Amino acid sequence: MVSIVFSESIILISSIILATAFTGIILSKTGTLESMVSSATSMQRSNILTDIKIIYVTNTTSSTVVAWVKNVGKQPIVDIDAVDIYFGPIKSVNMIPYNNGGSPTWIYEDTSTWDIMETKKIIISYGSSLSNTTYMLSIATPNGITDEYIFSPP
């Protein structure tokens, strides 16, 4: 009789320990899943609220292009030096580095935060003379929102 009570006690204690461990694992994984969902939701919100529009592009010299780009989204673009610019003849567009001191390069006329409904003037020093061909400018924000503009120098 004593051995039965002792065996049942061991089984009961083992069951409680296993149930506690299982509950701990489930709660831990639930917290991780909640964190991942929250992060993905935040990224999607940022993508939905960000939008840009290239208003106009022209060349001011034989090797300098000026673009006016408007933030038409619902939030400011804070990390403006992380914006990517691609420019070149339509079949050979290349990434232009930001403010690298050499050529080609691009800069903002005003480097403050890119506020909602604000238009930024972007100056691209291409490094070589623009020819009489069709060029493409593509701008991508840090979270991947893009706009493109195709033009031919006058």
Question: What is the domain extent for residue 18?
Answer: 1-49
Average pLDDT rounded to a whole number, residues 44-68:
88
Asked if residue 86 has pLDDT above 90, the reply is: yes
Residues 72 and 108 in one domain: yes
Residues 40 and 75 in one domain: no
CB 98 within 8 A of CB 107: yes
CB 141 within 8 A of CB 83: yes
What total number of domains does the chain contain? Answer: 2
Pairwise pLDDT comparison (147 vs 24), residue with the higher score: 147
Q: What is the pLDDT of residue 107?
A: 92
CB 83 within 8 A of CB 71: no
Cis peptide before 104 (omega within 30 of 0): yes
Residues 18 and 80 in one domain: no
How do beta strands 105-108 and 94-96 pair? Answer: unpaired
Asked if residue 73 has pLDDT above 70, the reply is: yes
Q: What is the pLDDT of residue 78?
A: 87
Residues 118 and 102 in one domain: yes
Asked if residue 2 has pLDDT above 70, the reply is: no
Q: What is the Cα gyration radius of the chain? A: 28
Residues 64 and 138 in one domain: yes
Exposed, middle or buried by CB within 10 Å (0-12, 13-18, 19+), for 32? exposed
Pairwise pLDDT comparison (27 vs 134), residue with the higher score: 134
For residues 138 and 122, give the distance between their C-alpha atoms in angstroms, rounded to a whole number.
12
Residues 43 and 102 in one domain: no
Question: Other C-beta atoms within 10 Å of 73: how many?
Answer: 20
CB 95 within 8 A of CB 88: no
Task: Give the mean pLDDT of the chain.
Answer: 86
Q: pLDDT tens digits for 3-20?
A: 777 777 788 788 888 888
Residues 117 and 66 in one domain: yes
Asked if residue 140 has pLDDT above 80, the reply is: yes
